[in-house]
Amino acid sequence: EKGGYDYFMLKEIAEQPKAVADTLLGRIDASGALSLDEVRIPVAELREVDKVVIVACGTAFHAGLIAKYAIEHWTRIPCEVELASEFRYRDPILDARTLVIAISQSGETMDTLMALRHAREQGARVLAVCNTNGSTIPRESDAVLYTHAGPEVAVASTKAFLTQLVACYLVALYLGQVRGTKWGDEIQAVVRDLSRISCEVERVLETMEPVRELARSLASKNTVLFLGRHVGYPVALEGALKLKELAYMHAEGFAAGELKHGPIALIEEDLPVVVVVPSPRGRSVLHDKIVSNIQEIRARGARTIVIAEEGDETVVPYADHLIRIPATPTLLQPLVATVPLQVFACELATARGNEVDQPRNLAKSVTVE
């Protein structure tokens, strides 16, 4: 049932191109327009939405953090993302024009369920992004957009995460489409890129041997830091979470711009720091800033592990290890940048003799608050 792989996690990492393609299937028509009639929220209502609030836990929360960038950019609707476990305790401001998106692989996470119940009591519309047909969260939501990752068995979420991203991009692009923002042309272009992205994920998977080798060489380390900016920041958080849960290592993700406000004090000789570098095309300011961050940490002894787009030569002098990913539009980069981090964590866990599919103290679905 592991299809020849040693672990479900490895199988599920390998299934990501298909999971991504399946989640897109039937949702983009031949003309490149998005059709999400299946969510059954009337277009008139979507045009009225004046705030989006995303609630989720763990890895699904990281998908939500990335979704915020996409939603705000393509729709110009303000979007908040909140840990489901914190949400209802702060008495959030919600009404009929608020669209709440509850993201959950299992559809059974108790905190997410309680958050969506609270949102509905306040009159908000709830859209579930969920991987499990007929589970509690979609049943209790107003609408659902299913991710088509197939069953995810390993406790650490991989393919579900990528499909959550795809689903969130679809929602963001769809909202942009029905509301007609000034980004119409960009939306068209991104839809085209999105429909090709599963091949890019496949290409990343084909080049993972050096990442595994690197992971094995770091098996005796205690700490790994992750840095990113913009959508690379949640990717850094996700990379750190994977490492905590699988390798039981101290791992932290930071927004690279925060370095000088504290975390840079952690940098010491030979400390591995993974840096997610945004595309040098497009929003190049971000790129330049992160290149200086890499220089700063390297000058203080960090061992830099740089994830950068193919063809980006500016990072080469500052990368102790360079992991290449295909060029994508900035907002879609998490779909390719996360994959090496999953492989990295999985291989480190194996090298440290940990149980990959069933990390200690964790359960696949957290049905208590």
Interface with ligand F6R by CB under 6 A: which residues?
57-60, 104-106, 109, 112, 156-157, 241, 245, 365-366
Distance of closest approach, residue 75 Cβ to ligand F6R, in angstroms: 24
356 neighbors 239 (Cβ within 8 angstroms)? no
Distance in angstroms (rounded) separating the CA atoms of residues 272 and 303: 5
187 or 201: CB nearest ligand F6R: 201
Establish whether 364 is a catalytic residue. Answer: yes
Nearest residue to ligand F6R, by Cβ distance, number only: 58
Distance of closest approach, residue 67 Cβ to ligand F6R, in angstroms: 14
CA neighbor of 75 nearest in space, from 229, 190, 162, 163: 190
Distance of closest approach, residue 350 Cβ to ligand F6R, in angstroms: 16
- Please, what's the b/e burial string for 259-283 (b: 16 or more CB within 10 A of its CB; e: otherwise)? beeebbebbeeebbbbbbbbbbeee
The residues, ordered by sequence, that sit 6+ positions from 220 with a Cβ below 8 Å of its Cβ are none
105 or 177: CB nearest ligand F6R: 105
The angle, 0 to 180 degrees and rounded to 10, between the axes of the packed helices 209-217 and 334-351 is 50
Phi–psi pair at 299, nearest 5 degrees: -60, -20
63 or 178: CB nearest ligand F6R: 63
Distance of closest approach, residue 268 Cβ to ligand F6R, in angstroms: 28
34 or 57: CB nearest ligand F6R: 57
257 neighbors 229 (Cβ within 8 angstroms)? yes
242 or 303: CB nearest ligand F6R: 242
Distance of closest approach, residue 365 Cβ to ligand F6R, in angstroms: 5
Distance in angstroms (rounded) separating the CA atoms of residues 236 and 341: 9
143 or 366: CB nearest ligand F6R: 366
User: Helix (H, G, I), strand (E, B), or coil: what is residue 313?
Assistant: coil
Among residues 2, 18, 221, 364, the one annotated as catalytic is: 364
User: Helix (H, G, I), strand (E, B), or coil: what is residue 118?
Assistant: helix
What are the Cα distances from residue 359, in Å, to 69, 109, 211, 240?
31, 18, 21, 15
Distance of closest approach, residue 291 Cβ to ligand F6R, in angstroms: 30
Phi–psi pair at 29, nearest 5 degrees: -85, 175
Give the distance, in angstroms, between the CA of residue 287 and the centroid of all CA atoms in the same chain: 19
Q: Which two tokens stand for residue 79?
A: 């979007």
Distance of closest approach, residue 47 Cβ to ligand F6R, in angstroms: 29
54 neighbors 67 (Cβ within 8 angstroms)? yes
Distance in angstroms (rounded) separating the CA atoms of residues 117 and 137: 9
156 or 275: CB nearest ligand F6R: 156
Catalytic positions: 364
